[in-house]
Amino acid sequence: MEGIALFGAGSWGTALADLLAKKGISVCLWSRNPEAARAINVTGHNMRYLREHRLHSGVYATSSLEEAAAFSKLWVSAVPTQAVRETLRLLRPLAGDDILLCNAAKGIEIETGLRISQIADEELPGLSYSVISGPSHAEEVIVEQPTAVVVASSKEEVASMWQEVFGCFYFRVYTSVDVTGVELGGAVKNVIAIASGIARSMGLGDNTLAALVCRGLAEIMRLGAKMGANPLTLAGLAGVGDLVVTCYSTHSRNLRLGMCVGEGMSLEEAQAELGQVAEGAYTVIPIVERGRAMGVDLPIAKAVRDILYGGITPKVAMEELLLREMKPELPPQMLWSQ
C-alpha cells in the first residue's frame, strides 16, 4: 500500500502513525517542532507525547511540510482544530488534484464556527475530504487495545478506501457518508465532557453523570438534526460512543480540564495544569452561538460557556439547569432535518 503523510505529531497523530506503520505502511510524520522530529528519528520516541512507547521503525518524522506533502498522495491531518486552517493554507500550493485528505481532529473553529470539512472546502477547494472519529484514546490505541471508530466521506468508495488503510485486528473501522454527523458528534461531546468533569469535582454521583451524558446527547442530536446530520449517526460510535468514553475516562483531556475548573481553577490555570489542548474549551463558544442562531436549546453547553468565560460558579450553573421549565424528554425538534 502507498505510504501515508501524517500531519501533526501530538498524541493522536503519534498513535495513528504507529498503528499504520505496524500494518507495514510507511509513514512520514510531520511535526512543526524540528527537535521533536529529530528525537523521533534518533530515539524512536516522541518525547512529549506517549513518550514511554517506542514507535515502529516504519515511522519517519520531519519538520519540513514540503517533504511530508511530497511523501504520499494520502494525507492524514491530526493537527489541533484551531491550527487546521493555517496548516491547510500552507499545504495549498503543495496539494494536487489527486490528494485524498482524512481528518482525525475533533472540534469547531472558534473564530468562524465552521467544522473542519468546511475549513477544508475553503482552503483546499475540490479536494477529497474524509473524517475519522469515535471513542479512541491514543493511550489505548498505541498499546493495541480493541477500538472501534467510523470514517465518513461523501463518497462511499473513498470511505471504504480509508477503512482499508486504518483497519486492523485491534482497530475496527466502520464507514459512513454522514460527514456532518461524524464531525459534529466528535466536536460537541468535548463540551459535555467538561461538564462531566465539573460535576465529578463537585462530588456529584453516578445519577448526575448519567443525566449529563443523556441530556448532553439530546443537545448534540437536536443541533445535529438541525444542521442536517442523521440522528442515527449520533446514536453510533461518533456520537454515543465518543461521548461516553470522553465523559467517563481519565484519559480525556476535556474531562480533566472540567475537573480542574470544578476545583476552583480559572480556565487559564486549568489549561496550564493540563499542558495539552482540550478542544471543548474552544468549541463551546461557536457551538452556543450556532445554537442561538438556529433556535436550538443547548442548556448544558451554555452552562459550560458561562462557567469558563462568564464568571458563573458551577454551583449556580447547576441550580439554573435543575430549575429550568419541565418539558418532554423527546421534543419534536429532535427530528428536525434540512
Cβ proximity of 254 and 270 under 8 Å? no
Q: How far apart are CA 294 and CA 173, in angstroms?
A: 33
Within 8 A by CB and 6+ apart from 266, the residues are none
C-alpha cell at 234: 449520533
Q: % helix / strand / coil in the chain, to the nearest 5?
A: 55, 10, 35
Q: How far apart are CA 146 and CA 313, in angstroms?
A: 39
What are the residue numbers of the active site?
189
Q: How far apart are CA 163 and CA 189, in angstroms?
A: 23
Give the three-class secondary structure for 108.
strand
Q: How far apart are CA 264 and CA 267, in angstroms?
A: 9
Among residues 337, 126, 146, the alpha carbon closest in space to that of 227 is found at 337
H-run or E-run covering 210 = helix 206-226
In Å, the largest CA–CA distance within the chain is 61
Q: How far apart are CA 48 and CA 10, in angstroms?
A: 8
Among residues 273, 237, 257, 252, the alpha carbon closest in space to that of 132 is found at 237
H-run or E-run covering 59 = strand 59-62
Cα→Cα distances 320→203, 258, 284, 299, Å: 18, 18, 18, 9
